Structure 1
Amino acid sequence: MSLPEEIVQLICRQLSNHRYLDSQTLSFVCRASKALNRIATPVLYSRFNSWEKMKKMASFLRSISLRPELGGYVQEIVFSRFYWFELTEDYLSIFADVATRLGIDLGSWLEEYPYEAMTQLIIAQIPNVKIMDVSTHEVYADDGVGAFTLLEQMAAQVPRRVSLHQLQQLTIGHSDIRRISVGYFGGIIELAPHIRELTISPCYGLYCDEEPKNTRFSLSNVTKLTIDGGHISKTQLESIVRLCGQLESFEFKHHTIYAGLQEISVTPRELIEILALHKHTLRSISVDLGHRERQKTGMFCFSGLCDDGDQILSLKEFSRLETFKIDGTSVLFPEVANPDYHTNILVNLLPRSIRHVELIDAQYESVANMIRLIDSVAKFPFLEEVTLTGNTADGRLGEDKVEFDKHELDTLHAMLERNGITLGNDRYQAELNAY
């Protein structure tokens, strides 16, 4: 204790962040002395992860309920699916008192949906949280009812007793095959108007079967949107994107959790058109639609080239775009045997502002197109790094591995070195070395 308090606090944070230690280690420090308790307690409660343990979650809720100041220390929290734990009368009594203090009626929540109930009671008592990850398991979605309706009740209070004004990063998700929407988590979003980074995994859409729909929440401050889209349609994707203010980063990856639904999954071209329609000044776009469903010869398939017309044609409208990552099924390179063969696809696709290009699981012809891009580097004066890999076995283009021509690889590598452009992929470099 002869060290400055700032150093002691840093030591406590190291204990809190250590990958092999849990919160109990730091709790021992809190018990060592009154001075250490004062310094270490805010660190101990700054982060909470339920680690799939409902008992741990219940104990945490009891602690911040009995001592509300502890909830004010929470900066980062993770709610994950759980192993069952029977709530005793002691817990139920404390949680009922919290609900009364918050001005809500728990009804049968704790008996029927204890995970969702405790999650909401915790969220209501951590006003300074900045990062939140909520993953539901035994989903409360019967009859189209959203899960976080207790928080919706709190959001409707005048004046409000609960606020999440500090929340900037929110991740929402589930492991249920039912169609769970963004609206399912609407109670959280409604209380947190300043969310800047939103991750949805998986995501079916903005609303599904909820009645009544919560249309009061806003995504106007979201600048980074990451979607693990579970068979998401063009209409559903557009309904989310249009609520966002000015997106700077957009990442989309297809999730197969809803495979087989009647809705048609959004195509790569439609996805870019949606982003352009709402005038988002994007700096980074990442698209991986390689494993989405396609209807081929009367049956579903989950790999292969996209149909002509579904590919991304141009990003020129995104005049500030610096990073573009894409899978090989989202762009079509004409094959050599094709009468319309040319190698201007990437040149016609990319904007002048581009700095980083990543193309994975690509066609054989992608190397020639990359060579043409580097040959036209005067049109792309900010280009710093490229990544290119051929389709892996059982990759996004199908079961066959794509092996690039050695001469073309050598040519491309020499051009990259000559222009001071970094080759940003170890596997591609390994292919070169193998030759």
Structure 2
Amino acid sequence: MLQRLPPEIILLIFHHLHHEFDRQDLIRLCHVSRVFRQLAQPILFSKFDVDIGPAELCANNFVPLTLFTRTVLSRGDIRKATREVVVRDLDDPGLSDDVRDTLSLPSDTLTMLVNEMERLGIDKNAFPRYSTDIKSGEINPVLVVLAANLERLETLKISYVTDHMNSLLNMFDTGMAQPYFSNLTSIDIELVRVNEDPAMDIIYTETILPLLALPRLQHFKANRCLGDDVYHPEEGITPNTMNFSSISLVDSCLDDMTLAEITMASKSLQSFTYVVDVDIIENLEDSDPTNTEELMESLCCHEETLTEVHIEMKERSRARGGSGERPTTFESFAPLRNLHELDIEQAAITDAPELPESLQVLRIRTCTCSVFDLVEFLVKERRTRLHNLVEVKVAPRSMPCTAMLGMESSFLDVRVFTGKKSEVTEFKEGVIRMEAIVREADFKFYAECISYNIMLRRMREGLEGKEDAERISGRYDTAKAE
């Protein structure tokens, strides 16, 4: 029987079970025997994942978070087992004044959490408020108590609305919660937008700087960050003092000073993602959003280490005060001499971009005009300079990829095969022209457009247009077609 095997062999077997997909099996094993429980529980609790809110639907989800936190406080093995915490709080405090029901929780549980908050000594001046918050079902102090007691917590993912996010980030400020999160290697912060005005829900970058300073942090991801030198810390950020190697700022907008200080703060930046959200640009007070020239200058301080770059600058980035257009096209990526992967929108590069010889994968997104010249240039460059380039991907802004193939007309996917004969012919000729360009290429070429790929298959296999139209419109079995 399995129970007669040595514990180390049983543990090896248990490790084939997944903490999420095999959760019920792990729970059953915990009821078999004391030995099985001791071996299975650390796997079961290696990741804690909970949704909290909206209040009218998920009010009692505060209970499992609180009970798990109490278990962590009393169980040393669980404290060491949990490596990842995922909490999603989608309850907009502006929509309802109702507090979460804590009556189902034992009073000693709430008291234990309050006492632990006091023991941690996090923001002693605000302790009375946090004590009240815990008893009324506020998750921020509970989450801090939980994370502060997980001895080996490596990954923290949180999805919050604006008010809750700002309240939580304030608790991470220097000298408060920071010492208790020293083992974190990955942080993913998602701000959930609830306001009708998209410019209202933002996170100022000054509030995330203490997180970037965590000693073991490697990966940081956040959305809707606004960097404005008006709110820049007076002391600034000392270059080459932080250990994070990957940073992702999505749907954000930063001024050049803030972006430069963040990138230069890293000792060795390897992966960089920056996606501009034009809706929050108006929140900048006296600053201009960083442009391509300033961004490249910031990245060049990591020319030896940077291997991945993902950039979407948008086309509406303009200077203030009527000073005209700001640079929105990158002149050259050649200084990033160890760059392996570049993911960028078509509007941000030319048809003959300067690329580093180290480049392996190039993805061109949101293509709104012909890519023939660009792809032809890459084919030639691969033969002379870009010997490491193995993959090129092009993705249109809209389907089908008519603009990408130099067509002025735009229509539904299904009309690529059932529309006017002239349109079908023009689309087919565009595919033929592109395939002729890449036929002799020494890299793999992908057009991220289902119409393009079906047309290509149709030409190769002689399939009828009716089959393709049905597949495009969703009435055709894709698996059988493949």
**TM-score bracket relative to the smaller structure:** 0.7 to 0.9
The answer to whether structure 1 residue 355 and structure 2 residue 345 are counterparts is no
CA contact (8 A) 1:120 1:150 kept: no
CA contact (8 A) 2:69 2:142 kept: yes
Measured in 1, the distance between the counterparts of 2:430 and 2:326 equals 26
Measured at CA, do residues 150 and 272 of structure 1 come closer, stay the same or move farther in structure 2, by a change above 3 Å? Answer: closer
Measured in 2, the distance between the counterparts of 1:148 and 1:31 equals 39
The answer to whether structure 1 residue 168 and structure 2 residue 185 are counterparts is yes
Measured in 2, the distance between the counterparts of 1:128 and 1:109 equals 25
In structure 1, give the amino acid aligned to 2:435: H
The residue aligned with 1:336 is none
Gap regions ≥5 residues in structure 2 = 53-60, 92-98, 194-199, 412-422, 460-482
The answer to whether structure 1 residue 429 and structure 2 residue 434 are counterparts is no
Report the secondary structure of 2:224's partner residue: strand
Report the secondary structure of 1:108's partner residue: helix
The answer to whether structure 1 residue 14 and structure 2 residue 17 are counterparts is yes
CA contact (8 A) 2:292 2:330 kept: yes
The residue aligned with 2:130 is 109
In structure 1, give the amino acid aligned to 2:254: I
**Greater than 6 Å deviation, 4+ residue runs:** 210-219, 397-400, 402-405
The answer to whether structure 1 residue 139 and structure 2 residue 163 are counterparts is yes
Shift of 1:37: 0.6
- Report the TM-score, using the length of structure 2 for normalisation: 0.71
2:392 aligned residue (361, 386, 398) = 386
1:98 aligned residue (102, 116, 136) = 116
The residue aligned with 1:222 is 244
The answer to whether structure 1 residue 231 and structure 2 residue 236 are counterparts is no
Answer 1 or 2: which has greater helix percent: 2
Indicate the structure (1 or 2) with the bigger Cα radius of gyration.
2
Describe the superposition over 1:35-60 as per-residue Cα deviations: whole angstroms up to 9, x where unpaired: 11110111122111122232221111
Measured in 2, the distance between the counterparts of 1:139 and 1:85 equals 16
Measured in 1, the distance between the counterparts of 2:349 and 2:374 equals 12
The residue aligned with 1:339 is none
Give the share of equivalent positions with the same residue, in percent: 16
Measured in 1, the distance between the counterparts of 2:26 and 2:436 equals 54
1:261 aligned residue (253, 261, 283) = 283
Shift of 1:388: 1.8
Shift of 1:394: 11
CA contact (8 A) 2:253 2:289 kept: yes
Describe the superposition over 1:264-304 as per-residue Cα deviations: whole angstroms up to 9, x where unpaired: 433334322321255463111111233755589x9xxxxxx
Describe the superposition over 1:328-382 as per-residue Cα deviations: whole angstroms up to 9, x where unpaired: 221245xxxxxxxxxxx23xx2111111111122243421121122023221111
The residue aligned with 2:465 is none
Measured at CA, do residues 85 and 91 of structure 1 come closer, stay the same or move farther in structure 2, by a change above 3 Å? Answer: farther
Measured at CA, do residues 254 and 401 of structure 1 come closer, stay the same or move farther in structure 2, by a change above 3 Å? Answer: farther
Measured in 2, the distance between the counterparts of 1:314 and 1:214 equals 29
The answer to whether structure 1 residue 129 and structure 2 residue 144 are counterparts is no
The residue aligned with 1:420 is 442
Which range moved further: 354-363 or 7-16? 7-16
The residue aligned with 2:348 is 330
Measured at CA, do residues 373 and 211 of structure 1 come closer, stay the same or move farther in structure 2, by a change above 3 Å? Answer: closer
Measured in 2, the distance between the counterparts of 1:108 and 1:350 equals 55
CA contact (8 A) 1:165 1:194 kept: yes
1:56 aligned residue (53, 57, 64) = 64
The answer to whether structure 1 residue 181 and structure 2 residue 204 are counterparts is yes
Shift of 1:249: 1.3
Report the secondary structure of 1:173's partner residue: strand
The answer to whether structure 1 residue 250 and structure 2 residue 272 are counterparts is yes
Measured at CA, do residues 280 and 391 of structure 1 come closer, stay the same or move farther in structure 2, by a change above 3 Å? Answer: same
Report the secondary structure of 2:260's partner residue: helix
Shift of 1:255: 3.5
- Report the TM-score, using the length of structure 1 for normalisation: 0.78
Report the secondary structure of 1:311's partner residue: coil
2:306 aligned residue (277, 282, 305) = 282
Measured in 1, the distance between the counterparts of 2:142 and 2:370 equals 54
Measured in 2, the distance between the counterparts of 1:236 and 1:129 equals 29
Measured at CA, do residues 47 and 383 of structure 1 come closer, stay the same or move farther in structure 2, by a change above 3 Å? Answer: same
In structure 1, give the amino acid aligned to 2:27: S
Shift of 1:230: 2.1
Which range moved further: 286-295 or 115-124? 286-295
Measured at CA, do residues 147 and 164 of structure 1 come closer, stay the same or move farther in structure 2, by a change above 3 Å? Answer: closer
The residue aligned with 2:372 is 367
The residue aligned with 2:82 is 74
Gap regions ≥5 residues in structure 1 = 156-161, 299-305, 334-344
Measured in 2, the distance between the counterparts of 1:93 and 1:409 equals 68
Measured in 1, the distance between the counterparts of 2:12 and 2:39 equals 6
Measured in 1, the distance between the counterparts of 2:157 and 2:239 equals 18
